[in-house]
Amino acid sequence: MLSIEAAPATVAELPLFDGGAYPASVRALEPVVTLFINKSDFQQFCRQNPDVALKVLAVVGRRLRHLVGLVESMTFGSIIQRLARMLLDASKAAGSDTFDLPATHQELASRLGTVREVVSRNLGRFRAQGFISIEDRHVHILNRTGLQQESEAQG
């Protein structure tokens, strides 16, 4: 799993610029309304409104940075590091030490490149170490420093 997008959002912008196939697949987690933009219509619109092209390029650039970080994390980080980082990122996105778990254990495993049992075991480990508490899907970070150290630990 490369990313989870929330409405309003765009996906598959690259073919609008290069005409190639989109290099990934998209799956909706809940009902959505989708719109398709024809490449020639989009390019004509961009010629008339150049700021639109710059905004789309900013989105593509942000996604590229995210993917580079994801590749780096998958290549050089352990599952424990990646899970700790994901929890810290979810906390940052929520603006609070208390937040809802962003996905099921199975979905988290897909995002982290592992299996559900490993996610469950490591969430349990974080609870046992006093880094987090979880009730239902509500996570509370109890020891941000400890979780941060886990996210940075080597090896």
User: How distant, in Å, are the alpha carbons of 13, 88, 89, 121, 151 from that of 92?
Assistant: 27, 6, 5, 23, 14
The percent of residues in the chain predicted with pLDDT above 90, rounded, is 42
The overall pTM is greater than 0.85: no
* Per-domain boundaries in the chain: 14-74, 78-152
Question: Tens digit of pLDDT for each residue in 6-56?
Answer: 778 888 888 888 888 887 888 888 899 988 888 999 999 999 999 999 999
84: left (phi over 0), alpha (psi -120 to 50) or beta: alpha
| Nearest-angstrom CA–CA distance, 43 and 84 | 42
Predicted pLDDT at 73: 60
CATH architecture of 78-152: Orthogonal Bundle (1.10)
Q: Which strands sit side by side in the sheet containing 98-100, from one edge to the other?
A: 98-100, 138-141, 132-135
Q: What is the mean pLDDT of residues 76-105?
A: 88
Asked whether 133 and 91 are in contact (CB, 8 A), the reply is: no
